[in-house]
Structure 1
């Protein structure tokens, strides 16, 4: 089994960055989901309600972030100083997290793009958010990801899903629909189901496999156009339902820091 692609998502819910090599930090891949768009009440904004987030392409620059989107001039933002003003409490699912507001310019740019009032915040201290204790240790932390630091997906499982879609006359989908961090090949379809509770070693970095990844309607959103298209959720409901969850990929928690790279071998360590 080997890594075939690596991805991070600087702004939660927005377009990905592709990597050949990337650092693994205790709370996820370096730079992954450290910026967040929130509504006036502090609740996070996601593709579930705002699919056009997929069109927002953030890119890191020295000392900050550049935002790019169709019809908007690019905006370069400096990483904000957490000591410059009051922190903002925001919510990501059941977590309430203190964050640093970025700037009025960022808020105005995003409000114009999304046609609704929003604010951009930055997670200056990624140690603030704990992971669900049912599947983690007390010291484990996560950034603005839905629940766990890293998600790993298997190309053979995507092939199996696309076979089901084809049988229903639906178009195939790329792996980007599932917004993984690490994509591997060389494993049988759904082999990752058996990894829960084990460890995986990717290159020299060891991860604990916390649980399978439950899926939502975002898998039906084209990550290049922001359009809702396809029947992915329906296919998962027919073939991959486990209780209340529709499963694809698994969540990992880093046991150490290091660097992972495309081409690295993956081994399951029991």
Structure 2
């Protein structure tokens, strides 16, 4: 039997992750508060007068700034405030929608951004749309057995947070999730259509504690399985609630 092993959201894209116990999904939308905000750099093409989804290269992301991987987050939905934590920087609480509080966040995160690379300039959001890496409103689904297969090839434990997944399922065989493409999966009371495997980038090489690239995850995937995919993208087709330990079933 397949069950929900973990649920994660990433309130600010590439700037922290948060484990949650339950989530209400809405058809056609991303996970609530997942990649709700994104951090711009000087070369971004995001139009704040007409906020719409744009590609990830317009933002500060872990693949270009691996130090960001060491951030963890706690979102206070009622207050609209988020607390970010990093082993080297301590914590910082602020409201990403308050222009007067952005400078404090930029100052806090700046030590993680190399001076010879892009640096953060602001925070943006799109109404009712998480800033996912896909042009469609996606939710990512991971398989714990697939993660264990990668660990087995590596010969040691690997932090699952590296994969930045939303829903972790325990029960299917390793890599079975790739067979779900084009199918519908019911998780809790929600239903999602599986769209495609997730092609991975160097962001997964960064340690989620130190922010240093210490594991060649892409090399392991290519060497052992001749691809660099991990997890699948899905879209919500039926609104519903998903909680830890809920049953998942491919329809």
Q: TM-score range by the shorter chain?
A: 0.7 to 0.9
Matched, 1:157 2:146: yes
Change (3 A) 1:5 1:237: same
Matched, 1:261 2:248: no
Change (3 A) 1:225 1:112: closer
2:208 alignment partner, one of 223, 243, 254: 223
CA contact (8 A) 1:102 1:121 kept: no
Shift of 1:262: 0.7
Matched, 1:108 2:107: yes
Change (3 A) 1:193 1:113: closer
Shift of 1:102: 6.7
Runs of at least 5 residues in structure 2 that lack an aligned partner in the other structure: 45-57
Please identify, of 115-124 and 182-191, the stretch whose mean Cα deviation from structure 2 is larger. 115-124
Matched, 1:11 2:12: yes
**TM-score normalised by the chain length of structure 1:** 0.77
Could you say what the CA RMSD is over the residues aligned between the two structures, in angstroms? Answer: 2.2
Partner SS for 1:103: helix
Partner SS for 2:238: coil
Determine the C-alpha separation between the residues in 2 that align with 1:222 and 1:24: 29
Please identify, of 197-206 and 41-50, the stretch whose mean Cα deviation from structure 2 is larger. 41-50
Bigger RCO (CA 8 Å, 6+ sep): 2
CA shift digits 1:96-142 (9 cap, x unpaired)? xxxxx973333333335535531231314135xxxxxxxxxxxxxxx
Partner SS for 1:106: helix
Match of 1:140 in 2: none
**TM-score normalised by the chain length of structure 2:** 0.82
Determine the C-alpha separation between the residues in 1 that align with 2:203 and 2:182: 27
Determine the C-alpha separation between the residues in 2 that align with 1:63 and 1:174: 29
CA contact (8 A) 2:96 2:123 kept: no
Change (3 A) 1:75 1:233: same
CA contact (8 A) 1:15 1:223 kept: no
Equivalent residues, number: 229
What does 1:113-262 correspond to in 2, within 5 Å? 113-114=112-113, 116=115, 117-127=119-129, 143-147=130-134, 148-166=137-155, 171-242=156-227, 246-262=228-244
Please identify, of 25-34 and 205-214, the stretch whose mean Cα deviation from structure 2 is larger. 25-34
Runs of at least 5 residues in structure 1 that lack an aligned partner in the other structure: 85-100, 128-142
What does 1:77-96 correspond to in 2, within 5 Å? 77-80=94-97
Match of 2:51 in 1: none
